[in-house]
């Protein structure tokens, strides 16, 4: 699913930055807002994205990141994590395939880390899960390179319904 949503968004942001197509970057951010049906998931993406944006701004000066930060601060763009990830990857000189691999590995590692906390899964088993995902990560990373903006989106109604229900749970195990 990540291949058609956030990873593709990061890849497209990278491409649009390479083409100096800033309007498409802003449009992409707006599309991501529309694609995230669950308020909680949408807000998490924005929270992580804005933290990343602020951190990168403080670490090194980059005209692309500074320009995007201005647009986010003015409310023209939202500041989703995937979009900012793609812009940062382009700014630090990663290749498109490296960007996709790092994005997917980071997402997988985050999910495995959550699973370690939630279910009886030890660190070693978690590392085994990550290792077993390597072929899938590589295959997905390469496939995403051939996708276009029109391919953005995934149909996962059960996941979206559960994400929406999570917002109203009496007790929650994780902050989204």
What per-residue confidence (pLDDT) applies to 81? 97
Whole-prediction pTM: 0.88
Q: Which 3 state secondary structure label does DSSP give 153?
A: coil
Q: How far apart are CA 7 and CA 163, in angstroms?
A: 19
Domains of the chain: 2-166 (1.10.4190.10)
What per-residue confidence (pLDDT) applies to 118? 84
CB 91 within 8 A of CB 14: no
Q: Which of 57, 55, 59 has its CA nearest to residue 47? A: 55
Mean pLDDT by 10 residues, the chain (176 residues): 88 97 97 86 92 94 93 96 97 97 96 87 90 97 97 70 59 58
Side-chain-side CA neighbours of 35 within 13 Å: the count stands at 25
What per-residue confidence (pLDDT) applies to 161? 59
What per-residue confidence (pLDDT) applies to 171? 64
CB 118 within 8 A of CB 173: yes
């Amino acid at each position: 699913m990540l291949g058609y949503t956030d990873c593709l968004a990061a890849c497209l942001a990278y491409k649009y930055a390479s083409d100096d197509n800033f309007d498409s970057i802003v449009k992409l951010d707006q599309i991501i807002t529309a694609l995230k049906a669950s308020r909680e998931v949408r807000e998490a993406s924005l929270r992580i994205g804005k933290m990343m944006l602020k951190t990168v701004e403080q670490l090194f000066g980059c005209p692309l990141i500074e320009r995007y930060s201005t647009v986010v601060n003015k409310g023209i763009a939202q500041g989703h994590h995937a979009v900012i990830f793609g812009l940062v990857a382009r700014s630090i000189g990663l290749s498109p395939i490296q960007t996709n691999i790092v994005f997917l590995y980071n997402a997988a590692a985050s999910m495995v880390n959550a699973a370690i906390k939630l279910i009886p899964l030890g660190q070693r088993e978690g590392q085994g899960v990550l290792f077993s995902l390597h072929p899938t990560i590589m295959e997905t990373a390469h496939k995403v390179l051939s996708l276009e903006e029109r391919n953005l989106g995934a149909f996962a109604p059960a996941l979206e319904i559960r994400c929406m229900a999570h917002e109203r749970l009496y007790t929650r195990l994780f902050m989204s």
